[in-house]
Structure 1
Amino acid sequence: KHPQNPIITAPIGLVEQENFRDPTTAWKGSDGKWRVIIGARNGDLGKAILYHSDDFINWKLSPNNHQFYVIDGIGMCECPDFFPVLIDGTKHGVDLDSSSVQDSNDVIRHVLKISYQNKQQEHYLVGKYVCDEDKFVAENKITGTSLDLKLDHGEFYASKSFFDYAKKRRVLWGWVKELDTEQDDILKGWAGLQGIPRQVWLHENGKWLMQWPIEELETLRYSDNEVSILGHKLVAGSTLQVSGITASQADVEVVFELPELESAEWLDSKEVDPQIVCSDKEYASRSGIIGPFGLLALASKDLTEQTAIFFTIFRTSNGFSCLMCTDLTRSSLRQDVHKTTYATIFAIDSNLKAISLRTLIDGSIIESFGEKGRVCITNRVYPLLATEKDAHLYVFNNGKQNVCISKLNAWSMKPAKFVQQ
């Protein structure tokens, strides 16, 4: 411990003394000064406070813009993260400490992520960072509504990214909390876990982040246990079991070929909260037009337990949109666990011919990546029947329009490898 500990203290009058924590990775600007952002709160104002240092020991509030970003209504600005991303759509990451790119807003954008305490969600802003002015100009807003950009629309919080120098990529970790009881935590002796590490990059349109499980995860696939389905038509109301894998610990990738979108049902996406739409009783079982279609994960043989991860296509005032949901309402016969729905809606091209879904299943955790990682939903489920060898996986289509499984690949997964250093 440094003799000056703590080397950074909460500024009196600017923030609440007990709500000042969670520093970002520090970086050195082109002027040679170190910078770090610390999360804070003052009343209902969430604040990202910027500090400067010449020697990494003596820190002062930034003379230019110490209130780096202030957002009303979020409570504590927890676990802030700040990092650059390339705007050309490539998956390559950028080191925050690269002074050569800090002011290169023609090729770089910066992301400010905050953990929104009042909603327990990961919101982020994309914008331009002017280093010599310590100024971040966001191109979107955090409003506390379904319109906000989020890393994940499920139970995923307090994330942190780092730059992987070996593979030139940005990797993200996040906390996945429990949805069962405190007594369950006491009995098993632990609570919460880290989600699968994800690679993060900016979509080529410069408006949102893309995420995908890091490639190393594929080494855990049992290569001799792969199941493939090609060109299978899912007619209205049909269900297809994916057999031959351990469905309680699996990696599933599926591409759905879509019918013509013009037949899709209407939705006023500007006025509707997608989670409210998806919360309609047994929404996954409703007979829509293009959807719901997707996966039934951690399902019992008789389907009394199931977690549905699915899409529904809608016509909207701006064209077409896709609703992605994860429905936990039938995930367990237990009555003492949290069972709700999680959803998001995103615009799609009118010429879209197919949509993809990747779902990782591991006992009580389900992580899903829609449309090549454009949207993510992470959840915890606690089935009584659909466990270990009694868990099953299905593909379904409850829409009136046929949907085709263009291709599906599924693997049983090995336990993670722990390397002792």
Structure 2
Amino acid sequence: MLVGNKKGSRGMALLYKSRDFKKGTKTQHPLHSGARSGMWECPDFFLVSLKGKEVLDTSGKGSHVKYILKMSLDLTRFDYYIAGKYNEEKDQYVPDNTNSPNNSTGLRYDYGHFYASKTFFDAGKNRRILWGWTNESYYKEQDNARGWALRSSGSLILVSRDQLGTYPKEHIQQYRNSLGLYSNLNHIYSRLFATSLLEEPLRWFHSLPKESIYIFDQLQKQFIKTYVHNRDKEENLYSLFGLKKLHGEKLEDFSKKFLGLARKVDNIHQKIVVTAFTNALQLDCKAKEYLFLNKPTTLEEMIIKVNGYIDLESMMSERQKSSFY
């Protein structure tokens, strides 16, 4: 766990270790620090891969892995980050170069009103989500004239190796959800949409011809059309029913692969998932016969029965080994 701190004017990220997530022990040295950088807030530490679009959780290792250290500087109220390597045995973080985020020359996630961000790994869609805060940029007098103001809001984005981007349809939905309290104010949606974008998508937004967008639905359609290529290939029922268990493939491995695919199919009925899974098993597969005799009616029930069958097979295999010896 990282905790932001400072000693004098030197900002730092303190590293704590824990075996039970209840009690922590501070390591001998900070993970990283910066002279004259002031208080470091909301430090974040995660992995990115140099291999294509691969996204990593905290267990990733190898020469293709880079460690991103991000901190929010209280002096500037901006988020900065650096890439480097991490030595687990020595609890030592070494940046790739001397471009340390000690001042306004450091790398930033965003060059607008964006601060105190944190990330988490979304295992379901194999992506890393960055959540940050943005503040209202109008003067107080303008807030009073409009009768509303937005002081803080979240921004959901996808962190990839070479840039920050989004899946367009999901980005729109997440953006609408974050502004749900302004559900009927179309002009607010349009004006604040830029605060949810970064880098190239933000440049696209500012390149739109003047007076070309009148309602948010127009902006939404334009955004999806422009960035639809960012979306991973959508899975459908044909993909699900086309997946078959290979001869010699472990049932446990296949079930994980099948359920991972099933989660990507939108609006699918649970009974269809159960049928597709049963059909995917070979005729001579004993698990297929087991599911026919103990027919599950829901996806949850099927998962329980499949896991139970896997445990049963494993137990029988262990018994056979022990009796052999």
TM-score by length of 2: 0.53
Q: Contact conserved, 2:10 with 2:36, CA < 8 A, in 1? A: yes
Deviations 1:62-107 (A, max 9, x none): 2xx43111111221101101101111231x32112x2xx2xx3412
Counterparts of 1:81 and 1:220 in 2: how far apart (Å)? Answer: 22
Q: Secondary structure at the match of 1:362?
A: helix
Matched, 1:86 2:46: no
Matched, 1:135 2:92: yes
Instruction: Tell me what 1:37 maps to.
Output: 2
Counterparts of 1:166 and 1:247 in 2: how far apart (Å)? Answer: 32
Correspondences of 1:122-201 after superposition (within 5 Å): 122-140=79-97, 141-142=99-100, 144=102, 147-181=105-139, 191-201=150-160
Query: CA offset at residue 137 of structure 1?
Result: 0.8
Cα RMSD between the aligned structures?
A: 3.7
Deviations 1:354-400 (A, max 9, x none): xxxxxxx43485455444x6x88999xxxxxxxxxxx9348xxxxxx
Change (3 A) 1:44 1:182: farther
1:362 to 187, 191, 208: 191
The amino acid across from 2:151 in the alignment is G
The amino acid across from 2:65 in the alignment is I
Deviations 1:145-169 (A, max 9, x none): 5542110111111111110010010
Name segments (4+ residues, structure 1) moved above 3 Å.
143-147, 180-191, 218-221, 246-250, 361-371, 375-379, 410-414
Higher share in strand: 1
Query: CA offset at residue 182 of structure 1?
Result: 5.5
Counterparts of 1:199 and 1:126 in 2: how far apart (Å)? Answer: 17
Counterparts of 2:110 and 2:203 in 1: how far apart (Å)? Answer: 5
Percent of residue pairs identical: 29
The amino acid across from 2:155 in the alignment is I
Query: CA offset at residue 219 of structure 1?
Result: 5.6
The amino acid across from 2:72 in the alignment is S
Instruction: Tell me what 1:52 maps to.
Output: 17
Counterparts of 2:132 and 2:193 in 1: how far apart (Å)? Answer: 16
Instruction: Tell me what 1:107 maps to.
Output: 64
Query: CA offset at residue 57 of structure 1?
Result: 1.5
Deviations 1:177-222 (A, max 9, x none): 122345777996764232431100222xxxxxx111344125689x
Counterparts of 1:69 and 1:124 in 2: how far apart (Å)? Answer: 12
* Greater mean deviation of Cα atoms: 43-52 or 189-198: 189-198
Counterparts of 2:56 and 2:193 in 1: how far apart (Å)? Answer: 34
Q: Secondary structure at the match of 2:113?
A: coil
Q: Secondary structure at the match of 2:171?
A: helix
Instruction: Tell me what 1:213 maps to.
Output: 166
- How many residue pairs align between the two structures? 204
The amino acid across from 2:123 in the alignment is Y
Q: Secondary structure at the match of 1:412?
A: helix
Matched, 1:411 2:214: no
Q: Secondary structure at the match of 1:162?
A: strand
Instruction: Tell me what 2:313 maps to.
Output: none
Instruction: Tell me what 2:236 maps to.
Output: none
Q: Contact conserved, 1:79 with 1:160, CA < 8 A, in 2? A: yes
TM-score by length of 1: 0.42
Counterparts of 1:188 and 1:173 in 2: how far apart (Å)? Answer: 27
Deviations 1:302-327 (A, max 9, x none): xxxxxxxxxxxxxxxxxxxxxxxxxx
2:57 to 85, 95, 99: 95
Q: Contact conserved, 1:39 with 1:78, CA < 8 A, in 2? A: yes
Q: Secondary structure at the match of 1:196?
A: strand
Higher share in helix: 2
Change (3 A) 1:79 1:145: closer
The amino acid across from 1:112 in the alignment is L
Query: CA offset at residue 130 of structure 1?
Result: 1.4
Q: Structure 2, unaligned stretches of length 5 or more? A: 176-184, 222-325
Q: Secondary structure at the match of 1:411?
A: helix
Change (3 A) 1:368 1:219: closer
Q: Secondary structure at the match of 2:6?
A: strand
Query: CA offset at residue 249 of structure 1?
Result: 6.5
Change (3 A) 1:220 1:197: closer
**Max radius of gyration: which structure?**
2
